[in-house]
Structure 1
Amino acid sequence: MLRLSKLTDYATVLLTYMAKTNGQLHTAMELSEVTAIHLPTVSKVLKVLSKEGLVYAIRGSKGGYQLAQAPESITVARVIGALEGPVAITQCSSPTHHCEQALACEIKGNWGVINRAIVDVLESITLADMMVPQTHSPKEIQVSMQGLNR
Structure 2
Amino acid sequence: MQLKKYTDYALRVLIYTGMKHDELSSIKEISETYSISQHHLGKIVFELNKLGFIETIRGRYGGIRLAKKPEEINVGQIVRIMENDFTLLECFDKGTNHCVISPACKLKHVLNEALQAFHQVLDQYTLNDLIINEKELRHFMGIN
TM-score range, shorter chain: 0.7 to 0.9
Q: Are 1:131 and 2:124 an aligned pair?
A: no
Tell me the TM-score normalized by structure 2.
Answer: 0.72
Structural RMSD (CA): 2.6
Q: What residue in structure 1 maps to residue 114 of structure 2?
A: 114
Closer, same or farther in 2 for the Cα pair 1:52/1:90, shift >3 Å?
A: farther
- Looking at structure 1, the residues matched to 24 and 47 of structure 2 have their Cα atoms a distance apart, in angstroms, of 17
What is the correspondence of 1:78-89 to structure 2 with a 5 Å cutoff? Answer: 78-85=77-84, 87=86, 89=88
CA contact (8 A) 1:8 1:83 kept: yes
Closer, same or farther in 2 for the Cα pair 1:78/1:106, shift >3 Å?
A: same
Closer, same or farther in 2 for the Cα pair 1:3/1:103, shift >3 Å?
A: closer
Q: What residue in structure 2 maps to residue 98 of structure 1?
A: 94
Deviation of the 1:16 alpha carbon: 0.4
- Looking at structure 1, the residues matched to 4 and 59 of structure 2 have their Cα atoms a distance apart, in angstroms, of 31
Deviation of the 1:30 alpha carbon: 2.1
Structure 1: unaligned runs, 5 residues or longer: 136-150
SS in structure 1 opposite 2:56? Answer: strand
Q: Structure 1 segments of 4 or more deviating over 6 A? A: none
Structure 2: unaligned runs, 5 residues or longer: 137-144
User: Which structure has the highest helix share of the two?
Assistant: 2
SS in structure 2 opposite 1:57? Answer: strand
Deviation of the 1:32 alpha carbon: 1.8
Tell me the TM-score normalized by structure 1.
Answer: 0.70
Closer, same or farther in 2 for the Cα pair 1:91/1:64, shift >3 Å?
A: farther
Identity in percent: 28
Q: Deviations over 1:82-124 (max 9, x none)?
A: 321154544555xxx4365798245344433322111100111
Q: What residue in structure 1 maps to residue 18 of structure 2?
A: 19
CA contact (8 A) 2:91 2:102 kept: no
- Looking at structure 2, the residues matched to 78 and 87 of structure 1 have their Cα atoms a distance apart, in angstroms, of 13
| Structure 1 stretch displaced more, 101-110 or 15-24 | 101-110
Deviation of the 1:35 alpha carbon: 2.8
The count of corresponding residues between Structure 1 and Structure 2 is: 130
Q: Deviations over 1:24-63 (max 9, x none)?
A: 2212122223333221122121112112222112222222
- Looking at structure 1, the residues matched to 122 and 42 of structure 2 have their Cα atoms a distance apart, in angstroms, of 25
- Looking at structure 2, the residues matched to 8 and 121 of structure 1 have their Cα atoms a distance apart, in angstroms, of 17
CA contact (8 A) 1:27 1:65 kept: yes
